[in-house]
Chains A and B, each alone.
Chain A
Amino acid sequence: MSAMDQDTGMFKVQQTIGSVLCCKCGVPMPPNAANMCVNCLRSEVDITEGLQKSIQIFYCPECGCYLQPPKTWIKAQWESKELLTFCIKRLKNLNKVKLKNAEFVWTEPHSKRIKVKLTVQAEVLNGAVLEQSYPVEYTVRDNLCESCSRFQANPDQWVASVQLRQHVSHRRTFFYLEQLILRHDAASRAIRIQQVDQGIDFFFGNKSHANSFIEFLRKVVPIEYRQDQQLVSHDVKSSLYNYKYTYSVKICPICREDLICLPSKVASGLGNLGPLVVCTKVSDNITILDPRTLRCAFLDARQYFRSGFRSALTSRQLVKYFVFDVEAPVGEATVGGQKYALSYVQIARESDIGKMFYVQTHLGHILKSGDQALGYDIYSANVNDDEMEKYRLSVKNGLPEAILIKKCYDEQRERKKGKPRAFTTKKLPMEMDESRGARVDPEKMENEYEEFLRDLEENPELRFNISLYKNKDYQESETASMTDGEGAPTVPIEELLAELELSEEEEEGNDEEDMDE
């Protein structure tokens, strides 16, 4: 059936709205609830009565923040959405009317006035809803916010400082820590970082920042710390005390590749681990390996600092050995992800090739005859360690003549001497401590840093937690170590991160370097 409009069945007459005269001015208009034309209604009723039309706000010219009393400072740009929200929030009584629209009216930026035009709606008379817009003027007054004024008074103002110290003669740990901190952004909130003789000082503006930094440190190195505070000022009326907090953090002095003679108590506590042990890894635990039995033990910070033993020989005292003969391994073990093989080797010191030693070593899996190795020369060393002396006297066969620690790649490095590495590292913005006199020898620092970089190349597990960046200047050399049998270990290119360069693209090395043991 075709299209007869079937609605609800009701026949509706079309209703045209007539017009009436406005009761005030007589102009014809469609009828509304007030029966007055809009102009007359506007002249009768002012819905903006009682609303704030001018108000004062405070602005900090240093950091560009506006004050929301009593204490919050809100950062906002000139004529931004945040500023508009802030301005509207400052108006009282605005909940009596409905806010329809708000916008900025242009004012000269130097005039210190902000004008906002608000459009509000409210009900008037008998149900008629009237809309009206009106301007609100804000007078901007300059007032430094608390943090800026404190900063102005004393720019170096710190509230908490962390004094990180390790009482050893080298700075390897600090180089490594520096890379770790950069990777994890742990010192991003430090106001200042200062390098001192045996450590680094970090200054923070907030006690909690210092606390979180110490928590980070605790996860990566074994530390012991104490906290002290100094009263700076005291408000008698409100009983508020302002302190400066100082955290004195000591990193344990045992480092990788150190030779340690454990005190008898500690050794027996660890299951009679041979008192001569080598430290293989330091993270939040210290891993020590007995080279004779290939047993490992872990000491965490608390355990270490309970006994507080020091290493007998450190990596400074490593001596180069030539390896003449490596016998078949008598035992193998995989400890903590690292493979070790116990075997006997014939070695001689580089300085005194005539004197041969026949010793046991845990590096049987990587040494071959003709290699060079680094180790501790216990035979001729004059060790200043009580425990070592006690052990020497107690044991009847005498101490082992040498303990090899790692393979030496000096020969291979000779070939690459002078060529830049494939990777670079970033540095923390540290100040040098000039006040203590020129104790720091720049050449020594260079050498130490070079050794640290070599360490990184040789140990993939060290690289695990740090970021290395591609060196833009490095170019693949044609006469690569492909032609020689063995190259020095380097960082494979897939481990390197490209630095964020917004302008140019960098050349990428085409081939990978071999990773050799």
Chain B
Amino acid sequence: MATRLQFENNCEVGVFSKLTNAYCLVAIGGSENFYSAFESELADVIPIVKTSLGGTRIIGRLCAGNKNGLLVPHTTTDQELQHLRNSLPDQVVVQRIEERLSALGNCIACNDHVALAHTDLDKETEEIIADVLGVEVFRQTIAGNILVGSYCALSNRGGIVHPHTSVEDLDELSTLLQVPLVAGTVNRGSEVIGAGMTVNDWTAFCGSDTTATELSVIDSIFKLREAQPSSIVDEMRKSLIDTYV
């Protein structure tokens, strides 16, 4: 079930937090309401780590990770790195990479099996991603945008992409990622999905501007309502014009 929240009156939740199946990172300095929203959903399941990256709070956009590992940019300080290594579970490999494009969250969109990467990423970075995160890396664009991390939100069960993505592109991406995809918006028509929400396999968090329609789309594509009777799910399917692969 998707939750609506705000970080310091800003609806771009995906900027200030990073959610995976094994851990959750949140930015420091916000009100306790922000954390309590996360904690109420995730408290005993996965650790919630407050951190900053390179002294900034925009951690969601700077790092990329899944249950296998976490990649942080070269701007991360040693203390932050150490803090992360200490707080995260041991099976999560924290790696700092030297990459010109330091906003890894904007450049890489990944789940536990497959990742989409910015077309201009270094070859070494691609290898590190494949290595640390244990994923297959595809260089792709979404609706002509190279910042794949910003314009899509990906989990193991589904994904949402930029609303202007054409049907053919959607099919292609869906084939690559092997998950159902839908073109949609978040935060009342915002196209920057990756920055507007953060998701893992059983829960999602979006900005409070998100409308009910968008929320229902999120719920259905990421399959967050497994507990629901199937008839309602079928009804939802009918109202969605998009194809599932």
Contact = CB atoms under 8 A, between A and B. Distances in A.
Q: Do A and B come from one complex?
A: yes
Interface of A: 13-26, 28, 31, 34-36, 125
B163 A15 contact: no
A21 B189 contact: no
A501 B217 CA distance: 82
A23 B191 CA distance: 11
Contacts of B217: 21
Interface string B213-245: 110110000000000000000000001111000
Contacts of A22: 213
Given A35-B189, A36-B189, A21 B240 contact: yes
A34 B191 CA distance: 9
B185 interface: yes
Nearest to B185: A35
B169 A23 contact: no
Give the one of A17, A18, A19, A36 with max B CB within 10 A. Answer: A18
Contacts of B145: none
Contact of B242 (A15, A16, A18, A26): A18
B188 A23 contact: yes
9 contacts: A16-B166, A16-B168, A18-B241, A23-B185, A23-B188, A31-B163, A34-B189, A35-B163, A35-B185
Contact of A21 (B166, B169, B213): B213
B166 A15 contact: yes
A155 B163 CA distance: 74
B9 to A, nearest CB: 19
A39 to B, nearest CB: 14
A23 B213 contact: yes
B87 to A, nearest CB: 36
A142 B71 CA distance: 78
A144 B164 CA distance: 60
Contact of A18 (B170, B188, B214, B216): B170
A13 B169 CA distance: 9
A259 to B, nearest CB: 104
Given A15-B168, A21-B213, A26 B239 contact: yes
A363 B184 CA distance: 111
Contacts of A24: 188, 211, 213
Nearest to B216: A26
A18 B166 contact: yes
A23 B166 CA distance: 18
A77 B214 CA distance: 54
A31 B183 contact: yes
Interface in B178-213: 183-185, 188-191, 211-213
A35 B191 contact: yes
A14 B171 CA distance: 13
Contacts of B167: 16-18
Contacts of A14: 168
Interface of B: 163-170, 183-185, 188-191, 211-214, 216-217, 239-242
Given A20-B183, A20-B185, A26 B213 contact: yes
A26 B211 CA distance: 9
B163 A20 contact: yes
B168 A21 contact: no
A34 B187 CA distance: 11
A19 B241 contact: yes
Nearest to A25: B213
Contacts of B216: 26
A197 B239 CA distance: 100
Give the one of B164, B212, B239 with max A CB within 10 A. Answer: B164
Given A26-B239, A36-B189, A17 B213 contact: no
Contacts of A26: 212-213, 216, 239
Nearest to B143: A31
Give the one of A13, A14, A22, A23 with max B CB within 10 A. Answer: A23
A22 B242 CA distance: 14
B169 A15 contact: yes
Contacts of A28: 241
B158 to A, nearest CB: 15
Nearest to A27: B213
Contacts of B183: 18, 20, 31
A24 B183 CA distance: 15
Give the one of A19, A21, A34, A36 with max B CB within 10 A. Answer: A21
Contacts of B166: 15-18
A36 B187 CA distance: 12
A503 to B, nearest CB: 71
Contacts of B165: 18
A435 B165 CA distance: 95
B242 to A, nearest CB: 7
A18 B184 CA distance: 10
Contacts of B185: 20, 23, 35
Q: List 6 tightest A-B contacts by C-beta distance, closest first.
A: A35-B189, A26-B213, A31-B163, A15-B166, A16-B167, A35-B185
B189 A23 contact: yes
Contacts of A18: 165-167, 170, 183, 241-242
A240 to B, nearest CB: 62
Given A31-B163, A31-B183, A35-B191, A23 B214 contact: yes
Contacts of B184: 20-21
Contacts of A17: 164, 166-167
B198 to A, nearest CB: 19
A196 B213 CA distance: 93
A22 B212 CA distance: 11
Contacts of A25: 213
Given A18-B170, A35-B189, A35-B191, 19 more contacts: A16-B167, A17-B166, A18-B166, A19-B242, A21-B184, A21-B213, A21-B214, A21-B217, A21-B239, A23-B188, A23-B189, A23-B213, A23-B214, A24-B211, A31-B163, A34-B189, A35-B190, A36-B189, A125-B189
Contacts of B189: 23, 34-36, 125
A28 B214 CA distance: 12
